[in-house]
Structure 1
Amino acid sequence: MKSNYLNPLTKKQQVISILSALSNCNQGTVRNNEKELQDHLCEQVTSALNNETIKSYIGNWEIDKN
């Protein structure tokens, strides 16, 4: 995610951009059923949200599994 002094990204723009990208983690993924897709997405997003670089852009986020 790049910004420059002429057009810096706001924190809100960083959050929206990264969460939007994470919502597409299952694109191109083939699984046997909806539960497997959901589990895969949860694993991918959880891993990303625990990544220190991503945390530096958007802060700490957790998935509500309810």
Structure 2
Amino acid sequence: MEEGTPRMAKVLIVDDNMKNIQVLGSVLRDAGYSVSFSTNGEDALRKMEGSEFDIILLDIMM
């Protein structure tokens, strides 16, 4: 990527409720974010090892 070229911020959504993931993911994609999701902690950790995220939105009551 060239210097000064904007990139989409990468967001990881971690939630066991697919409806929450769908709604939040849709809002974030429409706002220009690159969105990934996990439905459990183990999958989230694997994704975090393989990619850098700018922010992780985590449901702490899963």
TM-score (structure 2 length as normaliser) = 0.31
Greater RCO, CA 8 A, separation 6+? 2
Could you state the TM-score of these two structures normalised by the residue count of structure 1? Answer: 0.30
Relative to total residues, which structure has the larger helix share, 1 or 2? 1
Question: Comparing both structures, which one devotes a greater share of its residues to strand?
Answer: 2
* Larger CA Rg, structure 1 vs 2: 1
